Structure 1
Amino acid sequence: MTGVRFELKGSDAVLAALADTLSKTDDKRGLFDAIGAALASSTQARFETETDPEGSPWPDSLRKLVNGGRTLTDSARLVQSLTHEATEESVAVGTNVIYAAIHQFGGTIKAKTSSGLRFRGPGNGGWVTKQSVEMPRRTFLGLDDDDEAEIGHLAAEWLGADDDSGGGDARL
């Protein structure tokens, strides 16, 4: 997976429980693959709710304001590109779509030429030309509370624990 990379750290309890699980299994890649698949699916679901991992709504895109539809899903390229890679040591969830970073982190887009950036504006939908635009942050990658609980469930399941059996606390 090429593109933007940043390390996302979960809560200390989740990381400690995951480390404990990993120390008890020989098939670390399989566990990381299961976690990655769950996190990619959870991330894709954020495009339906248009919310960040903390549940806050994304700022509406200009395209959504002018034409309707959903923010970050005009062509669905970004959401469909979300994937994961698992190794024996880690899992990465992300995308190789070049414009993903500006949405994840926000920032300024500057025109490459003197003719500027040209796009349809709000209101009557007329054309607007600017030398730069500020993109708001629309975080889609990250862990929410449900993701942390799912990691705990997957880790317990991986070790053969049954949450309803009463046999030990395998939850994170």
Structure 2
Amino acid sequence: MAGVELAGQWAELRRTMENMNLSDQDLLALNERVAAILEQSTQERFEEEKGPDGKSWPPLSEQTLVARARRRTRRKDGSSGFRTKRGNLSRRALRIIENAAILKDTGRLMRSITSKARPEGAAVGTNLVYAAIHQLGGKAGRGKRVEIPARPYLGVSSADEQDLLAMLQEFIEERIEK
């Protein structure tokens, strides 16, 4: 599972938490909260079609849009509903092209996002083989002839950092009150 490790400015917070002598059960509870925040944020990126840096994902290529419309307009009898008898794109094909969502053709990638928590840390990712090409970009397809742009969905945004800091502060305050 691909994941993100929080480092850098978090060092002081980590020392504070180490000094609190938290049990494995406490650390697991904390990391479950971290995982939940990051998993939710990752799911929201699919809806917003933006990476953790806030940049919009590159749009789908015309070839991808046409291929998607061809596949989705195929009839049960094997004939195509992609074009009308006059050779124009069918209304259904046009609707599919106009409403095409990035990285959500089948929804499989979005549904595969999961999180795991252990006392040692939390991870958010997917087990799908093709997920990395969408996260990082690169050449794909037969003969590696298709260039897929990076559309990062995993990562920690500045909003995530704020949510995590607020949650961590709340967690520490809960433990201090005990």
Normalised to the residue count of structure 1, the TM-score between the two structures is 0.72
Q: Which has the higher contact order (CA 8 A, sep 6+)?
A: 2
Q: Which has the higher strand share?
A: 1
Alignment of 1:40-55 (within 5 A): 40-55=39-54
Q: Is the 8 A contact 1:18 1:155 kept in 2?
A: no
- 1:116-164 Cα deviation digits (max 9, x unpaired): xxxxxxxxxxxxxxx6101100001001111111111111111226xxx
Alignment of 1:55-94 (within 5 A): 55-62=54-61, 65-66=65-66, 67=97, 68-94=99-125
Alignment CA distance shift 1:21-1:15 (3 Å): same
- 1:66-100 Cα deviation digits (max 9, x unpaired): 42321001111111111111111111100112211
Structure 2 unaligned blocks of 5 or more = 67-96
Q: Separation in 2 of the partners of 1:78 and 1:16? A: 35
Offset at 1:19? 4.5
Check if 1:146 corresponds to 2:159.
Answer: yes
Offset at 1:11? 5.5
Q: Secondary structure at the match of 1:159?
A: helix
1:122 aligns with none
Q: Separation in 1 of the partners of 2:120 and 2:101? A: 36
Bigger CA radius of gyration: 2
Aligned sequence identity (%): 35
Please list every run of at least 4 consecutive aligned residues from structure 1 whose deviation after the TM superposition is greater than 4 angstroms: none
Normalised to the residue count of structure 2, the TM-score between the two structures is 0.70
Alignment CA distance shift 1:160-1:153 (3 Å): same
Q: Separation in 2 of the partners of 1:135 and 1:42? A: 23
Q: Separation in 2 of the partners of 1:106 and 1:149? A: 28
Give the aligned length: 139
Q: Which has the higher helix share?
A: 2
**RMSD over aligned Cα, in angstroms?**
2.1
Structure 1 unaligned blocks of 5 or more = 113-130, 162-172
